[in-house]
């Protein structure tokens, strides 16, 4: 019987003590003829034998450019097969891949190139209104006059190589074909020698967090952390070489890179790429056409698929499992995915970039109630505790506090940012997540919200997640989020952003009446805003700070917002 909110996940399966390069060599040898990558939008199909050939060629080409152990290789691209190749090629030679968000613009690109000290950048071409090459030249005009491999910039002193992910010969850039020819300069023995000099504790990845304030922080992760996280997640879904995972989540994010790609490759599973960016109907079409057995997504993606006008046209009966993660998963949405999308073994994973990312997970064997109302139990080999944010002491089971994690999965640091590192990792190497949650006597966790999202109304602590879950039961509501807004009398009040199901109409009072007598009066939203969409980032995460800002503007709460609070 657990008394305090502390637990450590146990398992008879040990952690993998190898590098990512050693792992992909092993899997390709075990399942050489199984499909590794199917990029539907590129018409690419690679077996694991062919995939390993691509990986080794890119690894040798990077060495041919002079990329050494610890050098940072940035990739600024959407979900293309080449992204996956780079993901596995860089750790083979001990380089550190830097994931760059495709939603970034010039200012943000400049920040990452400088902060991560990127020496080689891989960049995609134009997509819709985004001109990636043009933005790069705006950030680094010196590249336009330089020869490929000879960039010299005072602003970016580390940057030497830029590789265009295509065959257009842009100024100062290698084409993808020219880059691959560099592989001929490096022998197989040289790449083997480089691999033998690596340790699984070496850093091989920097992922930037999308914080709501300040500049993004570069999370430094190792072979050991992301490889084992992906392996454990694949085990949790019961993956094998017979599974085919549809991946609509972005690769630059830990969801796509670890929960999807590494979970797949560690099990010989097929990675299926439906489109460069999320498109609900392309996901449905791909699942049917490619007979996918698993599907990943954040809640907003699953809601878009379930509510798509053509949803009923597609046969999704091959689906078995998958993951809903990235933000709190509404219970009613989980139930619909279980029933309407035939994903009877879908699981939830909770974590954050700083923990590689997963720390808790439901299992395919958990009762439905557990899989739709909790985020599961601690990962194997991972310690978790819930503390009082003010005192740091572990709270009793069932009480709300901040979730903290410790173990193999925790980041090394924030790159070149010791002050932020010390604010997140304490002296005992516990990672403070900033998420509020509870743990029950059986070790199952629930999320109550963000420490910063908690609303204090007249001295009462209110967790928006609870109200969101309740409102999801309304038959007219497709999705809902609750934020705190400033109030002169109570300090804060609640504002519900409501998205209705197609063809439905509602009045503000109808929402409030639905709550009366069912939840405490102080939890009933004072304001209701009906919206078509929610502000989200490219990975599908809801941006509540933007909802708060917009609510203040629309509701004319500027005077209340000026009041300073302790």
Q: Which domains does the chain have, with CATH numbers?
A: 455-561 (3.30.300.30)
Q: What is the pLDDT of residue 214?
A: 57
**pLDDT category of residue 565 using cuts at 50, 70 and 90:** very low
Q: Identify any residues that bridge with 447 across adjacent strands, giving them in sequence order.
A: 437
**pLDDT category of residue 540 using cuts at 50, 70 and 90:** confident
Task: Count CA within 13 A, CB hemisphere, residue 350.
Answer: 30
Q: Identify any residues that bridge with 403 across adjacent strands, giving them in sequence order.
A: 386
Tokens of 124: 């995609």
Degrees, nearest 5: CA angle 174-176-181: 85
Q: What is the pLDDT of residue 300?
A: 83
Q: What is the pLDDT of residue 479?
A: 95
Phi, psi of 425 (to 5 degrees): -100, 120
pLDDT surpasses 50 at 494: yes
Q: What is the pLDDT of residue 459?
A: 66
Mean pLDDT of 211-236: 89
Q: What is the pLDDT of residue 560?
A: 84
301 touches 280 (CB < 8 A)? yes
Other residues' Cβ atoms within 10 Å of the Cβ of residue 532: 6
3-state secondary structure (DSSP) of residue 35: strand
Q: What is the pLDDT of residue 367?
A: 87
Mean pLDDT of 114-140: 96
**pLDDT category of residue 108 using cuts at 50, 70 and 90:** confident
Phi, psi of 54 (to 5 degrees): -65, -45
pLDDT surpasses 70 at 2: no
pLDDT surpasses 60 at 482: yes
> Terminus-to-terminus CA distance in the chain, angstroms?
39
Tokens of 167: 């065959």
HEC string of 422-456 equals HHHECCCCCEEEEEEEEECCCCCEEEEEECCCCEE
User: What is the C-alpha separation between 534 and 388, in angstroms, rounded?
Assistant: 31
User: What is the C-alpha separation between 534 and 555, in angstroms, rounded?
Assistant: 17
**pLDDT category of residue 566 using cuts at 50, 70 and 90:** very low
User: What is the C-alpha separation between 358 and 3, in angstroms, rounded?
Assistant: 24
* Neighbour-count burial for 468-486, b at 16+ CB within 10 Å, e otherwise: bbbbbebeebbbbbbbbbb
Which H or E element spans position 494? strand 491-500
Q: What is the pLDDT of residue 463?
A: 79
**pLDDT category of residue 451 using cuts at 50, 70 and 90:** confident
HEC string of 9-78 equals ECCCCCCCCCCHHHHHHHHHHHCCCCEEEEEHHHCEEEEHHHHHHHHHHHHHHHHHCCCCCCCEEEEECC
Q: What is the pLDDT of residue 456?
A: 75
- Please state, for a pLDDT cut of 90, what percent of the chain lies above it: 82
Average pLDDT, the chain: 93
Provide the CA 527 distance to its chain's centre, in angstroms: 31
- Tens digit of pLDDT for each residue in 36-89? 999 999 999 999 999 999 999 999 999 999 999 999 999 999 999 999 999 999
Mean pLDDT of 492-500: 95
- Tens digit of pLDDT for each residue in 143-174? 999 999 999 999 999 999 999 999 999 999 99
In 3D space, the residue among 351, 323, 345, 329 whose CA is nearest the CA of residue 229 turns out to be 351
Provide the CA 383 distance to its chain's centre, in angstroms: 21
Q: Identify any residues that bridge with 7 across adjacent strands, giving them in sequence order.
A: 384
Q: What is the pLDDT of residue 465?
A: 85
Degrees, nearest 5: CA angle 512-513-517: 105
Q: What is the pLDDT of residue 212?
A: 44
293 touches 318 (CB < 8 A)? yes
210 touches 540 (CB < 8 A)? no
H helices then E strands: how many in the chain?
A: 20, 27
Highest mean pLDDT out of 234-248, 332-346, 456-470? 234-248
pLDDT surpasses 60 at 384: yes
Compute CA distances 465 → 436, 462, 542, whole Å: 10, 9, 13
Compute CA distances 274 → 34, 247, 319, 385, whole Å: 19, 7, 15, 38
Mean pLDDT of 362-369: 90
Q: What is the pLDDT of residue 287?
A: 98
The DSSP letter of residue 9 is B
């Amino acid at each position: 019987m657990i008394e305090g909110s502390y637990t450590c996940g146990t398992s008879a399966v040990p952690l993998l003590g190898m590098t990512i390069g050693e792992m992909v060599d092993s899997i390709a040898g075990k399942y050489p003829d199984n499909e590794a990558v199917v990029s539907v939008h590129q018409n690419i199909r690679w077996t694991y034998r062919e995939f390993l050939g691509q990986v080794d060629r890119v690894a040798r080409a990077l060495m041919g450019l002079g990329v050494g152990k610890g050098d940072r290789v940035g990739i600024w691209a959407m979900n293309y097969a080449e992204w996956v190749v780079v993901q596995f090629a860089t750790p083979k030679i001990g380089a550190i891949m830097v994931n760059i968000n495709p939603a970034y613009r010039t200012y943000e690109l400049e920040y990452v190139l400088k902060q991560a000290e990127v020496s080689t950048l891989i960049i995609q071409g134009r997509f819709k209104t985004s001109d990636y090459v043009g933005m790069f030249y705006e950030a680094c005009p010196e590249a336009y006059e330089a020869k490929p491999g000879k960039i010299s910039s005072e602003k970016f002193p580390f940057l030497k190589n830029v590789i265009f992910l295509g065959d257009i010969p842009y100024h100062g850039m290698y084409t993808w074909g020219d880059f691959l020819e560099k592989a001929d300069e490096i022998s197989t023995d040289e790449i083997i020698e480089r691999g033998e000099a690596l340790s699984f504790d070496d850093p091989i990845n920097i992922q930037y967090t999308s914080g709501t304030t300040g500049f993004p922080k570069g999370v430094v992760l190792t072979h050991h952390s992301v490889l084992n996280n992906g392996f454990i997640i694949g085990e949790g879904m019961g993956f094998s070489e017979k599974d085919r995972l549809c991946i609509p989540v972005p690769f630059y994010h830990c969801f796509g890179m670890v929960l999807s790609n590494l979970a797949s490759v560690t099990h010989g599973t097929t990675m299926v790429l439906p489109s460069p960016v999320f498109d609900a109907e392309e996901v449905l079409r791909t699942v049917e056409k490619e007979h996918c057995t698993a599907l990943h997504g954040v809640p907003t993606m699953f809601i878009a698929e379930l509510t798509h006008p053509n949803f009923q046209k597609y046969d999704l009966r091959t689906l078995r499992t998958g993951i809903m993660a990235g933000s709190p998963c509404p219970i009613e949405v989980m139930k619909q995915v279980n029933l309407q999308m035939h994903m009877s073994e879908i699981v939830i994973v909770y974590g954050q970039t700083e923990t590689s990312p997963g720390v808790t997970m439901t299992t395919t064997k958990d009762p439905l109630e557990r899989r739709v109302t909790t985020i599961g139990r601690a990962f194997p080999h991972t310690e978790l505790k819930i503390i009082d944010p003010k005192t740091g002491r572990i709270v009793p089971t069932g009480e709300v506090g901040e979730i903290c994690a410790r173990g193999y999965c925790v980041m090394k640091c924030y790159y070149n940012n010791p002050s932020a590192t010390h604010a997140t990792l304490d002296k005992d190497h516990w990672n403070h997540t900033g998420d509020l949650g509870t743990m029950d006597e059986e070790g199952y966790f629930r999320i109550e919200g963000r420490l910063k999202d908690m609303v204090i109304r007249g001295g009462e602590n209110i967790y928006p997640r609870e109200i969101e879950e309740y409102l999801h039961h309304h038959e007219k509501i497709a999705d809902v989020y609750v934020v705190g807004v400033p109030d002169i009398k109570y300090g804060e009040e609640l504002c519900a952003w409501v998205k209705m199901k197609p063809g439905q109409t509602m009045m503000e009072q109808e929402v409030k009446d639905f709550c009366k007598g069912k939840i405490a009066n102080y939890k009933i939203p004072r304001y209701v805003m009906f919206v078509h969409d929610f502000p989200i980032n490219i990975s599908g995460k809801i941006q509540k700070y933007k909802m708060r800002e917009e609510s203040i503007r629309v509701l004319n709460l500027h005077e209340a917002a000026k009041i300073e609070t302790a």
